[in-house]
Amino acid sequence: MVRHSKLQKQVLSLYRQFLRAAHDKPGFLPRIQDEFRKNASIPKANVMQIEYLYRRGQRQLEQMKDVNTKQLGAFIKTRSDS
């Protein structure tokens, strides 16, 4: 059996909370899964970035749980051809 660190357990718990919250909001589930899959490749040793993303995820979860939230927004960084 695999033993997870405290931070890994927190991230898995956050993911489960997102899945539960997305149950009532159509269209949210694919975005949540994509975001977690994209960040799954971050090395375990990069604790600062993982903690930053975890805190950001907690804030996004609170926003998502708000009754008035209908969509998730995203900022996309594009490269300028200057």
Q: Which two tokens stand for residue 25?
A: 């909001």
- Where residue 64 falls among pLDDT bands split at 50, 70, 90? confident
pLDDT tens, position by position, 14-47: 999 999 998 888 888 998 999 999 999 999 999 9
Checking if the pLDDT of 81 tops 60, the result is no
Checking if the pLDDT of 48 tops 60, the result is yes
- The rounded distance, in Å, linking the Cα atoms of 58 and 18 is 9
pTM value is 0.77
Give residue limits of the domains in the chain. Answer: 6-64
